[in-house]
Amino acid sequence: MWAAPTRLGLMNIAPLTLGSPSNAHALTVPTPVFLAPMAGVTNGAFRTLCYEQGAGVCVNEMITARGVTIGDFRTVDMMTFVADEPVKAVQLYGTDPDTLDVAVGIAIQAFGAELIDLNFGCPVPKVTRKGGGGVLPWKLGLFRAIVRACVASADRYGVPVTLKCRIGIDDAHTTFRDVGRIAEDEGIAAVCLHARTVAEAYAGLAHWEAITELVGLLDIPVLGNGDVREGSDAVAMMAQTGCAGVEIGRGCLGRPWLFADIKAALAGDDTRHLPNLGEVCALLLRHAELNIALLGEHHAMNDMRKHTGWYLRGFPVGSETRLALSHVSSLDDLAGLLARLDPSASFPTSELGKPRGRQGTPRTHVIMPYGWLNDRDGLGLDIDDSDAGDVSGG
């Protein structure tokens, strides 16, 4: 199960403190390795598995502020934390400072959130069309107003606020430097930079040099995000950019043990977790059980179909079983299909270091409200914030 350890250069990884150390509520994260928020993926079941493997903070899916304030039932379900999560962290999305102010208060008071993350990176047209997500920081006044409102709201409870952004809208309209400066001014505890533009979506290689630049500009911690697929990538990103920690998105899809690998790698040990098919199936079944406890069997098993594909990638499964797994609707069916597989099949090492999850292609243009780029200082007061829930795909 465990590959022979080799030695990587030992890194001096400091625990990450979110919030001023003089604040009794400041959060200290011993291992600065975060599970990145992923809509439709990072629910309580997946977060539980990633925490068990050593993730420092696991951020819930992106949740719309408006859905929180109107008590939308899907939003409430998504916001619910698992009882013993080490850090209850949620990402909020919105375009209206007042709505976000209230949503932050509710997330903390009613749901027990201990860390609020703000979404300024979503590239989904449904979001950018309304001036939200990754295109919002172009409006510096609106961006500042949102950050100020959220920090003030969370401050009442001593809860730190972080934010996640991209490099900008496209190469000609970068925003990350302004985002960083304003975030620092307004009391944000850390900035996570997904080192791509909105136009790049998930395609191509992340531009780690932008992370290096942001680290040089800011005194608050910067978390690097983009293309960390193995422990050695995390070591390389921290060494190259000087970032205070890393956020992991697609690399851990169907592979929550990546967090154990990264933790080992940051401690100088290149041990890799290479579970055989039997071990992967056991984890997959546990994931399904945790998901059923959260969502009920029907929804949980629908949700598990994509995870099943990720867990079994590269293993000898056979096209018939793979097809049957993609339609599975009960835990018993899942267990029955997995029992057909050879538990001793070894981990497909050819999968290591390969991209996982969505890659897509860059966009030729980013959909934004009419005239959005004409004015940087506006407050964007006429933008439509009417979506309550379901903004998937951050």
Ligand X SMILES: Cc1cc2nc3c(=O)[nH]c(=O)nc-3n(C[C@H](O)[C@H](O)[C@H](O)COP(=O)(O)O)c2cc1C
Using rule CB under 6 A, residue 164 touches ligand X: yes
Angle subtended at Cα 36 by Cα 35 and Cα 41, rounded to the nearest 5 degrees: 90
Q: How far apart are CA 90 and CA 258, in angstroms?
A: 21
Using rule CB under 6 A, residue 175 touches ligand X: no
Alpha helices in the chain (DSSP H): 44-52, 65-69, 73-79, 97-109, 125-128, 140-155, 176-185, 208-217, 231-241, 258-266, 277-295, 297-311, 319-325, 331-339
Half-sphere exposure in the Cβ direction for 88 (13 Å, CA): 16
Furthest CA-CA distance within the chain: 61
- Name which position in 29, 41, 140, 290 contacts ligand X (CB under 6 A): 41
- Asked if residue 50 lies in contact with residue 85, where contact means CB atoms within 8 angstroms, the answer is no
Which positions from 207 to 246 touch ligand X by CB under 6 A, shown as an x/- string? ------------------xxxx------------------
Q: How far apart are CA 216 and CA 241, in angstroms?
A: 9
Q: Report the nearest approach of ligand X to the CB of residue 382 (Å).
A: 25
Of the pair 224, 341, the CB lying nearest ligand X is at 224
The single residue of 122, 192, 243, 252 carrying the catalytic annotation is 122
Of the pair 40, 318, the CB lying nearest ligand X is at 40
Residue number, nearest CB to ligand X: 394
Of the pair 202, 311, the CB lying nearest ligand X is at 202
The pairing of strands 57-64 and 245-248 is unpaired
Q: Report the nearest approach of ligand X to the CB of residue 163 (Å).
A: 9
Using rule CB under 6 A, residue 67 touches ligand X: no
Using rule CB under 6 A, residue 261 touches ligand X: no
- Name which position in 8, 36, 201, 243 contacts ligand X (CB under 6 A): 36
Among 35-43, 81-89, 142-150, 153-161, which window interacts with ligand X (CB under 6 A)?
35-43
Q: Is 281 a catalytic residue?
A: no
Burial class (CB in 10 A: 0-12, 13-18, 19+), 22: exposed
Q: How far apart are CA 145 and CA 96, in angstroms?
A: 9
Q: How far apart are CA 188 and CA 268, in angstroms?
A: 31
- Name which position in 18, 49, 62, 193 contacts ligand X (CB under 6 A): 62
Q: Report the nearest approach of ligand X to the CB of residue 35 (Å).
A: 9
Among 16-24, 33-41, 135-143, 167-175, which window interacts with ligand X (CB under 6 A)?
33-41
- Name which position in 38, 190, 237, 368 contacts ligand X (CB under 6 A): 38
Choose among 89, 85, 84: nearest CA to 59.
89
Q: How far apart are CA 10 and CA 138, in angstroms?
A: 40
Q: Any idea of the CA torsion for 86, 87, 91, 92, to the nearest 10 degrees?
A: 120
Q: Which of residues 86-105 bind ligand X (CB under 6 A)?
A: 91
Which positions from 338 to 377 touch ligand X by CB under 6 A, shown as an x/- string? -------------------xx-------------------
> Which active-site residues does the annotation give?
122
Residues engaged in binding ligand X (CB under 6 A): 36-41, 61-62, 91, 119, 121-122, 164, 194, 202, 225-228, 248-251, 357-358, 393-394
